[in-house]
Amino acid sequence: MSYPKKVTGGCLCGGVRFEINFSPDHNWKTGPHTCQCTQCRKNSGSLIYTFHTAHAKELTWLSQSTYQEYNSSPGCYRAFCNNCGSSLGWTDQKKGANTDWELAVGTFDEEFLLGKRDEEGVLRGGYGVALANFGGPHFWVQNEIPGVTGGICKGGTRFWEGSKGPVSGGTE
Ligand SMILES: [Zn+2]
Ligand SMILES: [Zn+2]
């Protein structure tokens, strides 16, 4: 697998932009993860919210002109753009400068998720597998919707709730 040194991303309108400079000790195994809690569903509008964890020191906000946070639970702040409405991820501010950011992988720029197409239309240089594979933790699997999201989040470690677990039934 190839790993990026850096990715950029941002909201739909471009008012919020960021870059992540991955440190040499970045945890690529637990970085990509999913959550199916009701808060993440309401916040993202998606049944499975796909994140990548970056330490605060790896994240630089390049533009925050339309940046806003919503305090969704004690200490937990969900970042969004107050112009276009994109959800950008969340952080636990109780941990201060030592916090991690759980960034919405869908806001990462296409050239890092997919790569770029060459003249033949073949994708080159994407890091989608490193950034968003399903081998990391899966949170709130108790909320899997039978017949819809059930059975999708296999591999990695499955957690019944946010941190309780791991539970069996999905690891391979
Ligand atoms: Zn925006
Ligand atoms: Zn969640």
Tell me which ligand sits closest to the C-alpha of residue 81: 1
For residue 75, the enclosing domain spans: 6-29+50-135
Q: Residues near 25 by Cβ (< 8 Å), separated by ≥ 6?
A: none
Question: In whole angstroms, what separates CA 25 from the centre of its chain?
Answer: 18
| Per-residue pLDDT band at 161 (split at 50, 70, 90) | confident
CB atoms within 5 A of ion ligand 2 belong to 35, 37, 40
Whether residue 124 lies inside any domain: the answer is: yes
**Residue closest to 14 by CA, chosen among 68, 113, 83, 111:** 83
| Cβ neighbours around 101 below 10 Å, total | 21
pLDDT 10s digits, 49-77:
999 999 999 999 999 999 999 999 998 99
67: CA distance to ligand 2 center in Å?
20
pLDDT 10s digits, 2-54:
999 999 999 999 999 999 999 999 999 999 999 999 999 999 999 999 999 99
| Per-residue pLDDT band at 172 (split at 50, 70, 90) | very low
Whether residue 103 lies inside any domain: the answer is: yes
21: CA distance to ligand 1 center in Å?
22
Domain count, the chain: 1
Domain with 129 in it: what CATH number? 2.170.150
Whether residue 146 lies inside any domain: the answer is: no
104: CA distance to ligand 2 center in Å?
11
What are 75's strand-pairing partners?
A: none
158: CA distance to ligand 2 center in Å?
13
